[in-house]
């Protein structure tokens, strides 16, 4: 029954795309919920007619023995974990915000503290079902139409509509034990990070840098029992706890979404919202990434009138071999903390990376430096552009979720234009969806 309902919904979506194509219209994909791209002044990314795929948000099948799940793209990771964790299984990569969808994790670039082992969520996928810009339903995998399978990753809704995903699950215990290792200098910190990644003794590795000489490695393991559990869902604040504790225990679900309550540390930008009394009184209405992002989107026109530019929200992937160069610059100039750092091992070189960029990166172990909420109002200095340029100078790649400043030439020295164009011709021959460069370079 569920499979038949899914098929009917997909064919309805495909028929709508064919109708839009026959009219020569360009469209965008409306997955429902909140967008996890950063709202921009004068943003036109979502002003074209929408293809509504919000009904595609269910688990279709879980194979407990094979440790596989088949699900629709609008399923949030919160709902996915709630479905699999009672079976002792979880996705191999669970992004840190509850409202991120599994389709969004593929179309974007979702990483987390297991990425030092497996890469991104897309690397755990085996099969994707797509509706092309011609209204064709296409199933692809690494064995079948492998270029399409790979190029949908990081395509941000510019190639096709994801309608079904099949992906790995891994065993999980009820709790996660966290150990915090403190370093005073970046040399020992990033060396230890690499050593732990290569040793493979932990299921989870990430870090929070609270200041130039206050660098915390967060090392996690699944455990069957816990002497206590900490709760950072409402009154207490996770990122602050990493400065004070040596060891901590969280329920597995709470560990996955440990940054969700604050949307990393967005709550500190709202006066009083880190106060326990205020949180007790109004927390259920404003705390949590979905609430905070929804409020941010509602206030975007007002904030856009007040602020010269939106705050910086960006992930910067720097090869580990260049991380000391990047961090040395970061500690001298932007000096914005906390800084979230996540080791990310590329399981293979992605075909959307140009051959020149592959040579430039060199090291398959990257460090994602996640800058969230840095003020950017200096009329003489646009930090968004500075981060983009500095990341490239250190042989790295930035995500495209916010403001982008690349020339077309620079952009396609990083991204493989030939592979993207080949996928575009196959999946969107009539240009129903915007191109990748066109969609993501309206900086406002």
Question: Distance of alpha carbon 177 from its chain centroid, rounded?
Answer: 24
* CATH architecture group of domain 2-172+431-440: 2-Layer Sandwich (3.30)
Q: What are the DSSP E strand ranges found in 114-190?
A: 125-132, 137-141, 160-171, 175-183
Is the peptide bond between 338 and the residue preceding it cis, with omega within 30 degrees of 0? Answer: yes
Q: pLDDT tens digits for 227-258?
A: 999 999 989 999 999 999 999 999 999 999 99
Of 303 and 180, the structure prediction assigns the larger pLDDT to 180
State pLDDT tens for residues 23-42.
887 888 877 655 546 555 55
Distances (CA, A) of 171 to 222, 223, 252, 443: 9, 11, 12, 42
Helix (H) / strand (E) element for 222: namely strand 214-223
| Between 368 and 54, residue with greater pLDDT | 368
444 pLDDT above the threshold of 50? no
- The pLDDT score that the predictor gives to residue 22 is 84
Give the model's confidence band at 129: pLDDT under 50 very low, under 70 low, under 90 confident, else very high.
very high
Residues 249 and 173: their CA atoms lie apart, in Å, by 12
Which range (46-50, 51-55, 121-125, 358-362) has the least confidence?
46-50
**Tens digits of residue pLDDT in 329-347:** 999 999 999 999 999 999 9
The pLDDT of residue 47: 61
H helical segments located in 132-274: 146-152, 186-199, 238-244, 252-256
Confidence of residue 306 (pLDDT cuts 50, 70, 90): low
Starting at the edge strand found earlier in the chain, the sheet holding 175-183 runs: 247-251, 175-183, 214-223, 204-211, 339-345, 365-374, 312-319, 397-398
Where along the chain do its domains lie? 2-172+431-440, 312-405
Res 37: pLDDT: 60
Q: Which residue has the tokens 């075909």?
A: 351
Mean pLDDT of all residues in 297-325: 79
Q: What percent of the chain clears pLDDT 90, i.e. is strictly above it?
A: 77
pLDDT score for 305? 47
Q: What is the DSSP letter of 249?
A: E
Least confident of 1-10, 43-52, 297-306: 297-306
Most confident of 208-222, 272-286, 288-302: 208-222
Alpha helices by DSSP H, listed for 125-257, are 146-152, 186-199, 238-244, 252-256
Mean pLDDT, rounded, for 1-10: 91
Query: pTM of whole model > 0.85?
Result: yes
Percent over 70 (pLDDT), the chain? 92
Average pLDDT over residues 252-267: 94
Question: 312-405 — its CATH code?
Answer: 3.30.70
Per-residue confidence (pLDDT) for residue 443, from 0 to 100:
46
Query: pLDDT averaged over the chain?
Result: 92
pLDDT at 360 over 70: yes
pLDDT attached to residue 272: 87
Q: How many CA atoms lie within 13 A of 198 on its CB side?
A: 9
For 142-188, what is each residue's pLDDT tens digit?
A: 999 999 999 999 999 999 999 999 999 999 999 999 999 999 999 99
């Amino acid at each position: 029954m569920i499979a038949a309902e899914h098929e009917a919904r997909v064919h309805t979506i495909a028929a709508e795309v064919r109708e839009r194509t026959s009219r020569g219209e360009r469209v965008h994909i409306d997955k429902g919920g909140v967008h996890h791209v950063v709202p921009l002044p004068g943003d036109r990314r979502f002003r074209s007619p929408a293809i509504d795929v919000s009904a595609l948000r269910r688990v279709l099948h879980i194979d407990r023995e094979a440790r596989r799940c088949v699900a629709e793209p609008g399923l949030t990771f919160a709902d996915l974990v709630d479905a699999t964790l009672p079976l002792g299984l979880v996705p191999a990569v669970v992004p840190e915000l509850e409202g991120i969808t599994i389709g969004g994790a593929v179309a974007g670039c979702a990483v987390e503290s297991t990425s030092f082992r497996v890469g991104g969520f897309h690397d755990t996928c085996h099969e994707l079902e797509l509706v092309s810009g011609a209204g064709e339903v296409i199933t692809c995998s690494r064995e079948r139409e492998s270029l399409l399978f790979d190029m949908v990753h990081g395509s941000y809704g510019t190639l096709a509509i994801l309608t079904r995903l099949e992906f790995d699950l891994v065993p999980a215990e009820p709790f996660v034990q966290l150990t915090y290792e403190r370093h005073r200098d970046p040399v020992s910190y990033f060396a230890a990070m690499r050593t732990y990644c290569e040793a493979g003794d932990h299921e989870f590795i990430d870090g929070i840098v609270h200041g130039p000489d206050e660098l915390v490695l967060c090392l996690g393991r699944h455990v069957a029992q816990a002497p206590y559990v900490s709760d950072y869902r409402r009154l207490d604040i996770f990122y602050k706890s990493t400065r004070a504790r040596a060891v901590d225990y969280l329920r597995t679900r709470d560990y996955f979404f440990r940054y969700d309550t604050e949307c990393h540390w967005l709550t500190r930008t709202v006066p009083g919202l880190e106060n326990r009394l205020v949180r007790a009184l109004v927390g259920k209405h404003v705390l949590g990434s979905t609430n905070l992002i929804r409020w941010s989107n509602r206030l975007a026109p007002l904030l856009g009138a007040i602020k010269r530019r939106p705050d910086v929200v960006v992930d910067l992937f720097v090869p580990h071999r260049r991380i000391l160069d990047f961090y040395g610059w970061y500690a001298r100039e932007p000096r914005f903390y906390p800084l979230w750092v996540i080791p990310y091992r590329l399981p293979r070189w992605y075909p959307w990376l140009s051959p020149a960029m592959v040579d430039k990166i060199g090291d398959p172990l990257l460090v994602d430096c996640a800058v969230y909420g840095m003020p950017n109002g200096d009329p003489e200095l646009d930090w968004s552009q500075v981060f983009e340029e500095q990341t490239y100078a250190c042989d790295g790649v930035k995500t495209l979720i916010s403001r982008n400043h690349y020339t077309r030439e620079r952009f396609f020295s990083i991204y493989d234009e030939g592979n993207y164009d080949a996928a575009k011709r196959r999946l969107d021959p009539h240009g129903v969806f915007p191109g990748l460069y066109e969609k993501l370079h309206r900086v406002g």
